[in-house]
Amino acid sequence: MKRRNHLVSNFPVRPSRLRTALQDEGSVPIDYDRMVRHLSRFIVMHRSTDVDGEPRYAGETDDKLAFVEIIGNRERISMATLLISTPVGDAHIDGRNAAMAIRFIKNANPGWRRAEAWMAAAFLQLARSPHRVFTVTKGYRQTRIAWLQEVGMIYITVEY
């Protein structure tokens, strides 16, 4: 019996080569409101403890299967992280987490038309090689995706 690849099955974008997705450009500072756009309907954010003198905001879904952390002042953030559970077998939760990952990547990388394709391709590669980290640098922004297989979470972080 062939096992279905649940890591990428909920993403609507057909994976393409990572190299192709890197061709688009886009580098603008990201503010807090831009970063939480469309995520706030899933996650309630709150001010948390500072990190190295910078404000930190954090939030999670009601079911605690997705987490967001944003570091930096509200006008210009320095880092944003999304942790989502790998598919749990519930179509609603899996779909929501997939939508959050796509929105997070788009919010963090405005103007990068191929961000969604890069993410889908990275997820497909993670399903094959779970211990790899996929990184792309666009201008001064670095985006990383990793699968923390031991805890069943996908880690997406953007540093500015």
* DSSP of the chain: -PPP-TTTTT--SPP--HHHHTT--------HHHHHTTTTTT-EEEE---BTTB-EEEEE-TTSSEEEEEEEETTEEEEEEEEEEPP-S-HHHHHHHHHHHHHHHHHHSTT-TTHHHHHHHHHHHHHH-TT-EEEEEETTEEEEEEEEGGGTEEEEEEE-
Asked if residue 4 is part of any domain, the answer here is no
CA dist 160 and 157 (Å) reads 10
Q: 2-58 pLDDT, tens per residue?
A: 444 444 444 444 444 444 444 334 456 899 999 999 998 999 999 999 999 999 999
Tens of pLDDT, residue by residue over 73-96, are 999 999 999 999 987 788 999 899
> Does residue 11 lie in a domain region?
no
pLDDT higher than threshold 50 for residue 103: yes
Structural domain of 32 = 18-159
Q: Per the domain annotation, does 136 fall within a domain? A: yes
- Greater confidence, 20 or 59? 59
In the prediction, which pLDDT does 13 show?
42
- 8 lies in some domain: no
Is the residue at 130 inside a domain? Answer: yes
Entry pTM: 0.82
In a domain, 10, yes or no: no
Residue 104: predicted pLDDT: 96
* 61 falls within a domain: yes
Residue 133 reports pLDDT greater than 80: yes
Whether the predicted pLDDT of 109 surpasses 80? yes
Give the C-alpha separation, 42 to 92, whole Å. Answer: 12
- Cα three-residue angle 126-102-122, rounded to 5 degrees: 20
Measured in degrees and rounded to the nearest 5, phi and psi for residue 124 equal -65, -45
φ, ψ of residue 25 to 5 degrees: the values are -115, 170
Residue 134 lies in a domain: yes
Tokens of 42: 């899933």
Domain count, the chain: 1
Q: Which residue has the higher pLDDT, 130 or 156?
A: 156
d(CA 13, CA 57): 30
